A = this chain, B = another copy of it.
């Protein structure tokens, strides 16, 4: 009997993340991913259902990680609502800094995957969103955050804005350092633009 050597699944995933980040999902060829991963094109189909499945597993990985980290923040009773809020934003930025390619795929292809396979996609994403909601809820209950806002809308607003800025940064990284962007985001969300 033969046993799988090395970690081809991981190699393929990493190659895919890199290529998706560079050229986007649609222009990334399976043959190229295989080449980058050092396997034959056909071998990809031993580890993944099809091309879409690769993207799906990438998203699974990242959302799972984000979710677990957010859970820690949420359950840390030493943090004030605003501390938690800051930590949540830092979390997303940290992941971005740690693995820009992964983050790039994450911001660019979210639409695509949400459209094409909403049912498979939602597992960890939903969990993440709910945890984010909990943090906001706590802030409102403790009278730190305004109660004039709908939680759902607020959640979508915050993550949408962050995603948009990260995307923009990825296209043109030299205009602003990520830390300045992060700091501005925190300020706007907390205090708004009114002087």
Closest B residue by C-beta to A24: B115
Q: Does A119 contact B (CB under 8 A)?
A: no
Copies of this chain in its oligomeric complex: 2
Using A146-B194, A185-B157 as known contacts, say yes or no to A152 and B164 having CB atoms under 8 A apart.
no
The answer to the question of A137 belonging to the interface, with a C-beta cut-off of 8 Å to chain B, is: no
Contacts of A154 in B (CB 8 A): 184, 188, 193
Interface pair A187/B157, CB less than 8 Å apart: no
The reply to whether B149 and A157 form a contact with Cβ atoms under 8 Å apart is: no
Interface CB pairs A-B, < 8 A, 20 = A24-B112, A24-B115, A85-B193, A111-B111, A111-B167, A139-B193, A145-B194, A148-B191, A149-B188, A150-B176, A152-B176, A157-B161, A160-B162, A160-B167, A161-B161, A163-B164, A164-B164, A188-B189, A189-B193, A191-B192
Q: Contact residues of A with B, CB < 8 Å?
A: 24, 26, 85, 108, 111-112, 114-115, 136, 139, 143-150, 152-154, 156-165, 167-168, 171, 175-176, 180-181, 184-185, 187-195
Cα-based distance from A114 to B115 in the complex (angstroms):
19
> Which of A85, A154, A157, A176 has most B Cβ within 10 Å?
A157
- Provide the residues of chain B in CB contact with A163, threshold 8 Å: 160, 164
A136 to B115, CA, bound (A): 34
Most buried by B among A136, A158, A191, A193: A193
Residues of chain B contacted by A152 (CB below 8 angstroms): 175-176
Chain B residues in 8 Å Cβ range of A164: 156-157, 159-161, 163-164
